Amino acid sequence: MSGETHETHGAVHRHEPPTSFIRKYIFSLDHKVIGIQYIILALVAVLVGMTMSVLMRMNLSWPGTNWPILGTLFPGGAPDGMMTPEFYLSLVTMHGTIMVFFVLTTAPQGGFGNYFLPIQIGAEDMAFPVLNMLSFWVTFVGFVVILAAIFFSGAESTVGPIGGWTGYAPLSALPNSGPGQGMGMNLWIISIAIFCVGSLLGALNFITTLLNMRAPGMSLMRMPLTCWAWFTTAVLALLSFPVLLGGGVLLLLDRTAGTSFFIPGGLYIGGELSGASANFPIHTGGSPILWQHLFWFFGHPEVYIAILPGMGATSHILSTFARKPVFGYRAMVFAIFAIGLLGFFVWGHHMFISGMSPYSAMTFSILTLSIGVPSAVKTFNWLGTLWGARIRFTTPMLFAIGFVSLFVAGGITGLVLGQSSLDLPMHDTYFVTAHFHLVMGVASIFGMFAATYFWFPKMFGRMMSERLGRIHFWITFVGVYCIFVPMHTMGIVGMPRRFAQFTEYEFLATLHPLVVFVSIAAIATVFAQILFYFNLVWSIFKGEKSGANPWEATTLEWITPSPPPHDNFAGVIPTVYRGPYEFAVPGAPNDFIMQTEPEPGTVPATEGAGNGHNGHRH
């Protein structure tokens, strides 16, 4: 099953690193290489997603302009360089799909989780390295297929399917329902199904590793909050992706085998009744709302899959640079769990306008608002961690504080939208777009920026440029607020989302300057990311050498050299004596104490402190 065939007889045997290039960097079994592969995948995918958002903004702000290069690239979607509405819709779809699946799910969990979860719990690798490798390559195939959906979407080519990242039926269930909904939509579903499988393999590995491979002394309550976040995320992925996979199978059957799981009877498309001709066979008895239930049962946990790792990284980084223990560690752990658990019971708040019974809506509404409680616990504990601290304002710290800011700013509007009476008029406006971009999109990305600047020295042995990092932070931070705060206003005025342009609507004409402003802010913010990419590549080769523990942090990844050796701790396994955030302990000579530092009076490692391991190393 995994790469441990050589240890069946219990031989004393150090795990040797592979030597060939392919086994070392491509089909690697090393969780660190796989983590970096995931991060690279996300860095590529986010470029595609950002390009699409810039194209959308261009079309919204300057409708009817000719962009000759688009005409050359997509003669079907943008004839003579003029974007068609369908082209815009497919941009919406592919931007959402690529960002949610291949950026917000891969980088925080597959990337940083893969790299740092084993190290932080003192394991030498994941429990099943082969599955880990497969999970990356399966995800990679999913990415290739989603890119294929852009280019193989049929004769009247858009740039892919137009059904939105939510793939609502019956639009998504019928090949003749619009341009791009033919082959492109099939590929979209297949890509998502492949992605589900990859995520499941990853989640399986995360859970097993965390439960079974903690170093001696690493009890659950001594784990860094990052590990709790990755673990909860893995549980969410484990329980929600199969539902999407099941729904995807049904959708694919509807499209290819003529079933009617999501297609109601008596449907008219383009003036043609269901069953009237060969390319529109008869359908009867399905329910489009069923797809919404299945999709959002996955979709809401997915939101937390995106943001929980960011929360974990933020807690970790805030504590490190505030030089204080995380305020209320236990409460933070339970808040993560509470958010994860409640996340399974609130999917209906995405469907208030689907005509659901007001009683169900009220139930979903109350459950949704109750997520505010653990979220507030987390926010106040972050503030409590910062309170009265002598903060070291490094770049990762700036991004972590930015995360808190964005999480609050985006979360507040969640309380507005969580009430069905307010959601009904606002649901299809820019208010929702602004809300979820702030709280799940940008906040998660800020968490990942913080994680990148924080752990880069560990991953590559060199520091990233602080100066570039700060410039990157301030442009991005101001930029995203300039983009998304005005969108709230647009939403309240009533600007509908997913519309390609607004020239036809007189009451929105006054908003046009704001639309242009948002676009300029978006384009500037996107270009600021060049700084980040440059910093990343430049620092790998030219950054200042970092040493093993440049941030004077306490957790296990900082006891090992940077970058860590092949099996993380050079053949030895650390023993853990204390909690993860022992900063500013009174009476201690330093303001931080490593987790591996024995407390006076504790028993030696080999006899006692086996709290979190199952004794399979004696």
Q: Which is nearer to another protein, 22 or 603 (CB)?
A: 603
Closest CB 412 distance from another protein, rounded Å = 27
For the segment 209-228, give every residue that binds another protein (CB under 8 A): 211-213, 221-222
Distances (CA, A) of 503 to 21, 78, 221, 251, 274: 56, 18, 57, 35, 34
Report d(CA 83, CA 348) in Å as an integer. Answer: 34
Q: Helices (H), strands (E): how many in the chain?
A: 18, 2
For the segment 444-463, give every residue that binds another protein (CB under 8 A): none
Size of the site for another protein (CB under 8 A): 105
Query: Residues 246-275 vs another protein: string with x where CB under 8 A?
Result: xx-xx--x---xxxxx---x----------
Q: Which is nearer to another protein, 472 or 613 (CB)?
A: 613
Closest CB 607 distance from another protein, rounded Å = 12
Report d(CA 422, CA 135) in Å as an integer. Answer: 41
Three-state secondary structure call for residue 429? strand
Tell me: cis bond preceding 563? Omega within 30 of 0 counts: yes
For the segment 112-171, give every residue that binds another protein (CB under 8 A): 124, 127-128
For the segment 372-401, give every residue that binds another protein (CB under 8 A): 384
For the segment 480-539, give every residue that binds another protein (CB under 8 A): none
Closest CB 443 distance from another protein, rounded Å = 25
- Pick the binder of another protein from 166, 287, 370, 379 (CB under 8 A): 287
The helix (H) or strand (E) run that includes residue 165 is none
Q: Which is nearer to another protein, 57 or 462 (CB)?
A: 462
Report d(CA 174, CA 256) in Å as an integer. Answer: 9
Q: Which is nearer to another protein, 11 or 22 (CB)?
A: 11
Which part of the chain contacts another protein (CB under 8 A), choosing from 85-93, 132-140, 482-490, 565-573?
565-573
Q: Is residue 80 a contact point for another protein (CB under 8 A)?
A: no
Render the burial of 348-377: b for 16+ CB within 10 Å, e for the rest. bbbbbeeebeeeebeebbebbeebbebbeb
Question: Which pair of structure tokens corresponds to residue 354?
Answer: 């689907």
159 close to 94: Cβ distance less than 8 angstroms: yes
Report d(CA 159, CA 169) in Å as an integer. Answer: 20
Q: Which is nearer to another protein, 405 or 611 (CB)?
A: 611
Closest CB 401 distance from another protein, rounded Å = 19
- End-to-end C-alpha distance for the chain, whole angstroms: 24
Report d(CA 281, CA 227) in Å as an integer. Answer: 51
- Pick the binder of another protein from 63, 71, 81, 242 (CB under 8 A): 242
- Pick the binder of another protein from 20, 359, 587, 603 (CB under 8 A): 587
Residue type, 313: A
Q: Is residue 584 a contact point for another protein (CB under 8 A)?
A: yes
Report d(CA 369, CA 492) in Å as an integer. Answer: 21
Q: Is residue 605 a contact point for another protein (CB under 8 A)?
A: yes
- Pick the binder of another protein from 32, 57, 255, 293 (CB under 8 A): 293
